[in-house]
């Protein structure tokens, strides 16, 4: 964008690039490796410019992956706004907080002292079978 031009976010290619990069950062944070880590630059550019989407890593919930796709859409004009992305991320964070919150019925693994939800029979941290050892409510 030439100096002096209006920095209108919806039509600013730099802003669209930042949105795309944010989506790629989400992939990296989730998968613990950079997107296209094993590909050379020419291969990456070919994939991006041909409109090929990034393959979905295991474990992304459908709505989380849909957000990443809207952030990394090959057509920059289709990227969602940053405020919309933040709103969705807040919803995901609230859902994660609920999922990880300790509930009166949660149990503690005797071998690892990890909290284990009632829906699980084994500790995910160490593999011990968890009985009915319930966390005392506060």
Q: Across residues 19-23, what is the average pLDDT?
A: 89
pLDDT at 104: 57
Residues 41 and 54 in one domain: yes
8 A C-beta contact, residue 78 and residue 70:
yes
The CA distance from 17 to 72, in Å, is 9
Residues 84, 42, single domain; the answer is: yes
Please indicate, yes or no, whether residues 109 and 61 belong to a single structural domain of this protein: no
Q: Which two tokens stand for residue 65?
A: 């992956």
Within a domain: 18 = yes
pLDDT at 100 over 90: no
Please give the pLDDT value at position 70: 92
Token pair of 31, please? 């998968």
What span, in angstroms and rounded, lies between the C-alpha atoms of 69 and 26?
11
CB 111 within 8 A of CB 126: yes
pLDDT tier at 79, thresholds 50, 70, 90: confident
- Choice among 27-31, 85-89, 111-115 with the minimum mean pLDDT: 111-115
Q: Which two tokens stand for residue 11?
A: 């039509």
**What is the rounded average pLDDT of the residues 106-132?**
79
Is the domain of 28 the same as that of 68?
yes
Tokens of 103: 């509930």
Q: How far apart are CA 53 and CA 113, in angstroms?
A: 41
* Stretch (H or E) spanning 99: helix 82-100
pLDDT at residue 136, rounded to an integer: 46
Q: What residues pair up with 99 in beta bridges, in sequence order? A: none
Give me the mean pLDDT over the 47-71 stretch: 90
Better pLDDT: 62 or 82 = 62
Residue 4 lies in a domain: no
How far CA 132 is from CA of 46, 107, 119, in Å, comes to 55, 7, 12
% pLDDT > 90, the chain: 22
């Amino acid at each position: 964008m030439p100096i002096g031009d209006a920095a209108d976010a919806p039509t600013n290619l730099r802003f669209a690039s930042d949105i795309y990069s944010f989506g790629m950062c989400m992939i990296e944070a989730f998968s613990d490796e950079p997107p296209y880590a094993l590909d050379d630059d020419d291969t990456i550019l070919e994939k991006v410019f041909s409109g090929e989407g990034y393959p979905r890593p295991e474990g992304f919930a459908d709505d989380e992956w849909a957000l990443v796709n809207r952030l990394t859409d090959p057509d920059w004009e289709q990227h969602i706004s940053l405020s919309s992305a933040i709103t969705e991320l807040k919803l995901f964070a609230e859902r994660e907080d609920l999922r990880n919150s300790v509930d009166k019925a949660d149990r503690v693994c005797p071998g690892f002292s990890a909290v284990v939800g009632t829906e699980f029979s084994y500790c995910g941290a160490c593999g011990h079978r968890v009985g009915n050892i319930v966390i005392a409510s506060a």
